[in-house]
C-alpha cells in the first residue's frame, strides 16, 4: 500500500499550519518529530480526514481521504482523546469496532483479543473513568487497531506514559508496523530511534527532513536539537 | 556633537541598577481588596448569558404587564425555577471546568469566590423580583406581596433542592442535575396553571393564607443550604 | 453488511445511560401519576354518582325544563340536590352571553344561539367564504340535541396530554440535546468521524436513536396515563360529542376521536422536538442554548402575542405543539387551504411537524458533515 500526500497545505486565518507538504509512505514505522506548533497534529488530522486541507491531496492507493473506503483502512489514536465515562473498556472497543464496520461476532472476537494484547483483559468490565492515564492510552491503541488497519496514525501515543509502558508501547507499534503504514508523532527522540525505519521532521509547517536515519549520520537527538534551536 | 554629549551625560548620570529589587518586591504586602471590590471582580467572571436570562425575564414581565397579557402572571413562576438552576450551575463552574484545584490555592479562597458569586446573583435576582412583582400586581389587579410570593416560592424550592443535590454524590455525577430539578418544578407550576380551577384556587388560597410563612421557611432553608455549600466547598465546587 | 443495528444499540445505550434521561423519565412518570390521581381529591363519589344519573339523556327541552326550577343563582350554586345538572348548566352558560338568564332559553333557542356565536367568531377570525362553506357542512354533522355523557375519564385523559407533551418537550430539550454535543465535549468526535461509519451512518443512527427514545416515551406515557384513567375513572362517555366540554366548537368529533387525533399530533410533535434538539445542538455545538430555546419557545407559544387580524402568524402560533395539544384547540376554526381543498389544523399540524423535522434533519446533517476537529 502507498499513502501519498501531495502538496498538502492548511491555513487558519493568517497562520499557515502546514505548508505544501509532500511525501509518500509505505509499510513500516515512520516517526514524525517536531516542536510544539510545528504542524504535526494538523497534518495528522488531515491524513485522517477529520480536518479539511486548504489545498493538496491525500490518497491511499488512489483512494481519496474523504471516502468511506479510506476510513475503512484507517486506525487513529489522537493526542488528547476522550471516552464515554459510563462505558466499560469492552463496550468502548466494541462500539468503535461497530463504527469501523465490523460485524457483531468479529467485533466481539477482536475486542477480547485486543484487550488481552494491551493487557486490559482483567479490567475489561470496568468503567473507563476508573482507569489510569496509561490504561486509557492502552485502550486507545486497542480501539485504533481493532479493524486491522492498513494505515495507523498515532499522535503522541507515548505522552504521559511511564518508562515501562513506553517500552511496551514501542514494541507493540514495531510489531504492528511490519505490515502496516504507521505514522506516529512524538517529542521523544528515543522512541523514534528504537522503532522507526523512517524519520520525518517538521518545523513551521514544513518537512525539513525525510528519510531513514542511520548511525553514520550521527546522533539523531543532537541533530534534532540543532535544527530546532 | 551635541547629541553625543547628551548621550554621554545621560549615561554618566543614569541611576544605578537597583539592588535586591526582586526581594524588595516580594516583601511588599499585596494591597487589601475590599469585599465590594472582590464582589465586583467576581461579577465580571459570571457569564453574560446568566445576566441576559434575568434581564429577559424582567423584560418579559414588564412587557407582558404593559400589554396586559394575562398569561404573564402565570408563566413567570414557570420560568423562575430555571433562573435558580442557572445560578446554581454558575456557582459550580469551577468543578465543571476542572479549575477547582487551581482556584483553591489562589489568594482568595474558593469559598470567598463562591460566596461572592452567590451574593452577586442573589442580589440581582432579588432586585428583579422586587421590580416585577409590583408591576405585575398593578397590571392585573393583584397585591404586590402575593405576586412576589408566587414568584419566589418556585425559585426558592428549586434553589434549595438544587444546592442539596449538587453537593450529593449523585449530583456530582449528573452534570445538569439542577436543570432536571428546575424542569420538574416548572412542570409542576405549569400543571397548576393549566389544571382544574378547583386545584388552582386551592393553591392560591394556601399562598394567600400562609404565603409569607412559606417564603420565610423556604428562604431559611435556602440560606442554610448555601451556608452548607460554602462550608463544604471542596465537595460542591 | 452495515452493522447499523449494533450502532443503534450503542446510541440507545448512550442516551439511556445518561443519568439525566433516567431522572427526567422518573419525573415524567411521577407527574403522570399525579395528573391521574389528583382529580380523585375533588371529584367525590357522590359527584360521580349524581352526574351519571343523566348519562345518555338528550339535552332537549324536557331536560332543560326539568333543570330550570332546580337552578340556584342562575346555575352558579350547587348542592347535592341539584349538582347532577351542573354539566348541563355549564354547557348552556358557555353558549349564552355573560349574564343571560339560562331559564329564558328553550333548547332550540340555545342551539340557535350556539350556531350564531360560532359563525360570528369565525367571521372575527377572518375566515374566507370557502372556509365558512366548509364549516357549514361540518357543523351539520353534529346533530342536535346533544346527548349528555358522563365523560370525566375522557376529559382527564385529554387534559393529561398537555402535561405529557411538556414532559416530552423537556426530555427532548435536556436529554436529546446532548446526543451530538456529548461527542464534542467528551472529545470522542475525533475517533468517531475518523471511522468508516463515522459520518453519514453515525448521524442517521443517532437521529434514529433519539427519535426512538422520544417516541417510546410518548407512547409509554400515553399508555400509562390511559391505563390509570381507565382504572380510576373509567373511559365512559368517549362517544360523547366534544361540544359537551367545548360547546362553541364546530368540530364533529366525539371525545374518543379527539383524543385519538391528539395522540397522533403528539407523536409527530415529539418527533419535531427530538429533531430540533438534536439538529440544533449540532448546529450551535451548545446543548444549553438549545435547551433554553426550546423551553423559551414552549413558554412563549402560550402567550397571545399575535392579534387575530394577522391571520397567518396567528394561525401558525395556534399550530405550535403546546397550543395544538390542548382541549382549547377545538376552538381553532381557521383552516389550511391546499388547491381549493381545506383541512383543519389537526390534519395540517402533523404534516407540518414531519416536514419541519425532515428539514431539521437535513440542516443537522450539513452541520455534522462540515464539522472538523480544530483548535484542540
So where are chain C's domains?
4-40+151-370, 57-141
CA distances to B35, B53, C159, C238, C287 from C301, rounded to whole Å, are 43, 18, 18, 29, 21
> What count of other Cβ atoms lies within 10 Å of the Cβ of residue C328?
13
pTM, to two decimals: 0.84
Q: What value of ipTM does the predicted structure carry?
A: 0.82
**For A110-126, how does the pLDDT look when each residue is reduced to its tens digit (9 = 90+)?**
999 999 998 899 999 99
Q: How far apart are CA B87 and CA B67, in angstroms?
A: 29
**For B166-191, how does the pLDDT look when each residue is reduced to its tens digit (9 = 90+)?**
888 777 766 678 888 888 888 888 87
Contact B45, B149 (CB under 8 A): no
Is the same domain home to A141 and A165? Answer: no
Spatial CB neighbours of A205, under 8 Å, sequence gap ≥ 6: A10, A16, A17, A18, A19, A21, A38, A39, A42
For B112-123, b where at least 16 C-beta lie within 10 A, e where not — what string? bbbbbbbbbbee
Could you tell me if C209 lies within 8 Å of chain A, comparing CB atoms? no
Is the same domain home to A58 and A124? Answer: no
Q: What is the mean pLDDT of chain B?
A: 80
- Name the range with the highest mean pLDDT among B19-23, B198-202, C250-254: C250-254
Contact A71, C195 (CB under 8 A): yes
Q: How far apart are CA A207 and CA A34, in angstroms?
A: 9
Quick one: which of A79, A14, A72, A69 has its CA closest to A42? A79
Q: How far apart are CA C244 and CA B190, in angstroms?
A: 25
Which residue of A12, A68, A99, A102 to mutate against C (max C Cβ within 10 Å)?
A: A99
- When mean pLDDT is compared across A11-15, A158-162, C7-11, the lowest value belongs to A158-162
Task: Lay out the sheet containing A63-64: strands in order across.
Answer: A15-25, A3-12, A55-60, A63-64
The CA-based angle C127-B71-C215, given to 5 degrees, is: 75
Is the same domain home to A94 and A105? Answer: yes
Could you tell me the three cell numbers for C170?
Answer: 423537556
Q: Report if residue B111 sits inside a domain.
A: yes
Q: How far apart are CA C173 and CA B85, in angstroms?
A: 15
Q: What is the pLDDT along chain C (376 residues), one digit of tens a residue?
A: 468 899 999 999 999 988 889 889 998 999 899 888 888 877 778 888 888 888 999 999 999 999 999 888 888 888 888 888 999 999 999 999 888 888 899 999 999 999 999 999 999 888 999 999 999 999 999 888 999 999 988 988 998 898 899 899 999 998 999 999 999 988 899 999 999 999 999 999 999 999 999 999 999 999 999 999 999 888 888 999 999 999 999 999 999 999 999 999 999 999 999 999 999 999 998 888 898 889 888 877 877 777 778 888 899 999 999 999 999 999 999 999 988 899 999 999 999 999 999 999 999 999 999 999 886 6
Contact C25, A123 (CB under 8 A): no
User: 3-state DSSP call for residue B60?
Assistant: helix
Is the same domain home to A67 and A157? Answer: yes
Task: Compute chain A's Rg from CA coordinates.
Answer: 17
Q: Report if residue B18 sits inside a domain.
A: no
- A64 forms beta bridges with A59
- pLDDT of residue A85 exceeding 90, the answer is no
Q: Report if residue B16 sits inside a domain.
A: no
Q: Report if residue B20 sits inside a domain.
A: no
Q: Which domain does A181 fall in, by range?
A: 1-73+149-229
B75 vs C174: CB contact, 8 Å cut-off?
no
The alpha carbon of residue B193 and the mean position of all alpha carbons in its chain are separated, in whole angstroms, by 27
- pLDDT of residue B199 exceeding 70, the answer is no
Considering its fold, how many domains does chain B have in total?
1
Could you tell me if C23 lies within 8 Å of chain B, comparing CB atoms? yes
pLDDT value for B15 = 79
More confident position, B197 or C22: C22
CB–CB contacts below 8 A, A to C = 93
Could you tell me the three cell numbers for B45?
Answer: 467572571
Could you tell me if C372 lies within 8 Å of chain A, comparing CB atoms? yes
pLDDT value for B104 = 59
Could you tell me the three cell numbers for B84?
Answer: 435558580
Task: Compute chain B's Rg from CA coordinates.
Answer: 26
Spatial CB neighbours of B185, under 8 Å, sequence gap ≥ 6: B81, B154, B157, B158, B161
Could you tell me if C166 lies within 8 Å of chain B, comparing CB atoms? yes
pLDDT value for B107 = 59
Per DSSP, the residues of C129-149 read: HHHHHHHHHHHHHS-SS-B--
Question: Among the three residues A92, A116, A148, which one is the final residue of a domain in this structure?
Answer: A148
Kind and range of the H or E run holding A40: helix A40-48
pLDDT value for B27 = 72
Question: Among the three residues A148, A178, A195, which one is the final residue of a domain in this structure?
Answer: A148
pLDDT value for C309 = 80
Contact C68, C103 (CB under 8 A): yes
Quick one: which of C373, C282, C197 has its CA closest to A49? C373
C303 contact residues in B (CB cutoff 8 A): 64, 69, 71-72, 75
Contact C321, C162 (CB under 8 A): no
Question: Among the three residues A148, A178, A201, which one is the final residue of a domain in this structure?
Answer: A148
Residues of B with CB under 8 A from a CB of C: 53, 64, 69-72, 75, 78-79, 82, 170, 173-177, 179-180, 183-184, 186-188, 190-191, 194-196, 198-199
Considering its fold, how many domains does chain A have in total?
2
Quick one: which of C106, C105, C74, C104 has its CA closest to C89? C74
Is the same domain home to A65 and A156? Answer: yes
Per DSSP, the residues of C308-339 read: TTSHHHHHHHHTSHHHHSSGGGGG----EEET
Site of grid cell 458533515: C369
Spatial CB neighbours of C97, under 8 Å, sequence gap ≥ 6: none
Could you tell me the three cell numbers for B181?
Answer: 430539578
pLDDT value for B98 = 65
Quick one: which of C187, C7, C9 has its CA closest to A76? C187
Q: Which domain does B232 fall in, by range?
A: 30-236
Where residue B229 falls among pLDDT bands split at 50, 70, 90? confident
Site of grid cell 357549514: C136
Mean pLDDT of A133-159: 91
Is the same domain home to A3 and A65? Answer: yes
Shortest distance between the Cα of C87 and any Cα of chain B, in A, equals 15
Q: How far apart are CA C190 and CA A78, in angstroms?
A: 7
Task: Compute chain C's Rg from CA coordinates.
Answer: 24
Where residue B103 falls among pLDDT bands split at 50, 70, 90? low
pLDDT value for B120 = 83
pLDDT value for B235 = 54
Is the same domain home to A163 and A175? Answer: yes
Q: How far apart are CA B203 and CA B192, in angstroms?
A: 8
Distance separating the N- and C-terminal Cα atoms of chain B = 68
B194 vs C20: CB contact, 8 Å cut-off?
no
Q: How far apart are CA B160 and CA B178, in angstroms?
A: 10
Quick one: which of A86, B183, B47, B190 has its CA closest to C173? B183
Amino acid at each position: 500500500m502507498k499513502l501519498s500526500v501531495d502538496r498538502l497545505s492548511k491555513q487558519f486565518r493568517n497562520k499557515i499550519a502546514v505548508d505544501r507538504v509532500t511525501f509518500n509512505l509505505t509499510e513500516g514505522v515512520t516517526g514524525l518529530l517536531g516542536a510544539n506548533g510545528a504542524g504535526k497534529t494538523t497534518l495528522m488530522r488531515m491524513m485522517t480526514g477529520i480536518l479539511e486541507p486548504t489545498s493538496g491531496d491525500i490518497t491511499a492507493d488512489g483512494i481519496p481521504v474523504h471516502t468511506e473506503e479510506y476510513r475503512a483502512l484507517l486506525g487513529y489514536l489522537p493526542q488528547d482523546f476522550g471516552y464515554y465515562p459510563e462505558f466499560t473498556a469492552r463496550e468502548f472497543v466494541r462500539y468503535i469496532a461497530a463504527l469501523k464496520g465490523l460485524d457483531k461476532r468479529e467485533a466481539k472476537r477482536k475486542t477480547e483479543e485486543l484487550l488481552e494484547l494491551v493487557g486490559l483483559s482483567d479490567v475489561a468490565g470496568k468503567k473507563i473513568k476508573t482507569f489510569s492515564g496509561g490504561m486509557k492510552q492502552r485502550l486507545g491503541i486497542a480501539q485504533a487497531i481493532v479493524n486491522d488497519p492498513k494505515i495507523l496514525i498515532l499522535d503522541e501515543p507515548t505522552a504521559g506514559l511511564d518508562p515501562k509502558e513506553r517500552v511496551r508501547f514501542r514494541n507493540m507499534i514495531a510489531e504492528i508496523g511490519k505490515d502496516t503504514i504507521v505514522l506516529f508523532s512524538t517529542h521523544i527522540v528515543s522512541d523514534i530511534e528504537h522503532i522507526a525505519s523512517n524519520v520525518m521532521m517538521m518545523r513551521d509547517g514544513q518537512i525539513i527532513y525525510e528519510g531513514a536515519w542511520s548511525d553514520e549520520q550521527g546522533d539523531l537527538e543532537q541533530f534534532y536539537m540543532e535544527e530546532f534551536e | 556633537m551635541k547629541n553625543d554629549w547628551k548621550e554621554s551625560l545621560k549615561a554618566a548620570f543614569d541611576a544605578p541598577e537597583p539592588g535586591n529589587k526582586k526581594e524588595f518586591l516580594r516583601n511588599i504586602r499585596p494591597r487589601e481588596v475590599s469585599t465590594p471590590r472582590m464582589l465586583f471582580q467576581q461579577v465580571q467572571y459570571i457569564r453574560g448569558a446568566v445576566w441576559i436570562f434575568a434581564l429577559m425575564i424582567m423584560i418579559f414581565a414588564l412587557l407582558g404587564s404593559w400589554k396586559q397579557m394575562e398569561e404573564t402572571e402565570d408563566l413567570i413562576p414557570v420560568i423562575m425555577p430555571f433562573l435558580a438552576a442557572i445560578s446554581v450551575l454558575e456557582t459550580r463552574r469551577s468543578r465543571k471546568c476542572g479549575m477547582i484545584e487551581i482556584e483553591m490555592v489562589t489568594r482568595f479562597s474558593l469559598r470567598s469566590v463562591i460566596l461572592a458569586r452567590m451574593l452577586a446573583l442573589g442580589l440581582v435576582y432579588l432586585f428583579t423580583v422586587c421590580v416585577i412583582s409590583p408591576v405585575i400586581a398593578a397590571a392585573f389587579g393583584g397585591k404586590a406581596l402575593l405576586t412576589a410570593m408566587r414568584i419566589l416560592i418556585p425559585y426558592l424550592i428549586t434553589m434549595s433542592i438544587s444546592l442539596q443535590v449538587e453537593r450529593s454524590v449523585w449530583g456530582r455525577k449528573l452534570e445538569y442535575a439542577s436543570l432536571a430539578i428546575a424542569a420538574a418544578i416548572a412542570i409542576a407550576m405549569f400543571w397548576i396553571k393549566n389544571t382544574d380551577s378547583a386545584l388552582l384556587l386551592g393553591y392560591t388560597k394556601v399562598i394567600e393564607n400562609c404565603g409569607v410563612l412559606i417564603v420565610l421557611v423556604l428562604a431559611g432553608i435556602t440560606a442554610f443550604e448555601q451556608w452548607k455549600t460554602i462550608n463544604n466547598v471542596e465537595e460542591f465546587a | 453488511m452495515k452493522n447499523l443495528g449494533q450502532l443503534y444499540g450503542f446510541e440507545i445505550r448512550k442516551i439511556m445511560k445518561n443519568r439525566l434521561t433516567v431522572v427526567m423519565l422518573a419525573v415524567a412518570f411521577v407527574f403522570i401519576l399525579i395528573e391521574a390521581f389528583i382529580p380523585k381529591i375533588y371529584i367525590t363519589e357522590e359527584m360521580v354518582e349524581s352526574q351519571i344519573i343523566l348519562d345518555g339523556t338528550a339535552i332537549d327541552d324536557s331536560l332543560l325544563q326539568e333543570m330550570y326550577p332546580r337552578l340556584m343563582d342562575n346555575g352558579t350554586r350547587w348542592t347535592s340536590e341539584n349538582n347532577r345538572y351542573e354539566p348541563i348548566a355549564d354547557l348552556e352558560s358557555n353558549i349564552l352571553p355573560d349574564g343571560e338568564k339560562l331559564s329564558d332559553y328553550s333548547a332550540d333557542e340555545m342551539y340557535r344561539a350556539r350556531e350564531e356565536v360560532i359563525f360570528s367568531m369565525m367571521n372575527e377570525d377572518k375566515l374566507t367564504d370557502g372556509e365558512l362553506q366548509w364549516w357549514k357542512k361540518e357543523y351539520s354533522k353534529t346533530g342536535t340535541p346533544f346527548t349528555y355523557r358522563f365523560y370525566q375519564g375522557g376529559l382527564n385523559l385529554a387534559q393529561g396530554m398537555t402535561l405529557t407533551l411538556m414532559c416530552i418537550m423537556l426530555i427532548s430539550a435536556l436529554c436529546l440535546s446532548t446526543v451530538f454535543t456529548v461527542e464534542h465535549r467528551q472529545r470522542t468526535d475525533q475517533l468517531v468521524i475518523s471511522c468508516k461509519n463515522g459520518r453519514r451512518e453515525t448521524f442517521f443512527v443517532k437521529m434514529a436513536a433519539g427519535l426512538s427514545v422520544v417516541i417510546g416515551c410518548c407512547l409509554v406515557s400515553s399508555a400509562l396515563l390511559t391505563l390509570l384513567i381507565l382504572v380510576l375513572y373509567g373511559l365512559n362517555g368517549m362517544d360523547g360529542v366534544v361540544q359537551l366540554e367545548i360547546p362553541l366548537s364546530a368540530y364533529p368529533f366525539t371525545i374518543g376521536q379527539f383524543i385519538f387525533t391528539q395522540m397522533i399530533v403528539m407523536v409527530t410533535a415529539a418527533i419535531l422536538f427530538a429533531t430540533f434538539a438534536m439538529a440544533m445542538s449540532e448546529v450551535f455545538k451548545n446543548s444549553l442554548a438549545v435547551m433554553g430555546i426550546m423551553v423559551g419557545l414552549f413558554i412563549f407559544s402560550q402567550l397571545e402575542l399575535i392579534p387575530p387580524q394577522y391571520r397567518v402568524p396567528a394561525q401558525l402560533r395556534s399550530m405550535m405543539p403546546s397550543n395544538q395539544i390542548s382541549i382549547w384547540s377545538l376552538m381553532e376554526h381557521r383552516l389550511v387551504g391546499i388547491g381549493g381543498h381545506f383541512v383543519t389544523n389537526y390534519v395540517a399540524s402533523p404534516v407540518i411537524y414531519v416536514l419541519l423535522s425532515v428539514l431539521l434533519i437535513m440542516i443537522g446533517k450539513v452541520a455534522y458533515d462540515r464539522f472538523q476537529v480544530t483548535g484542540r
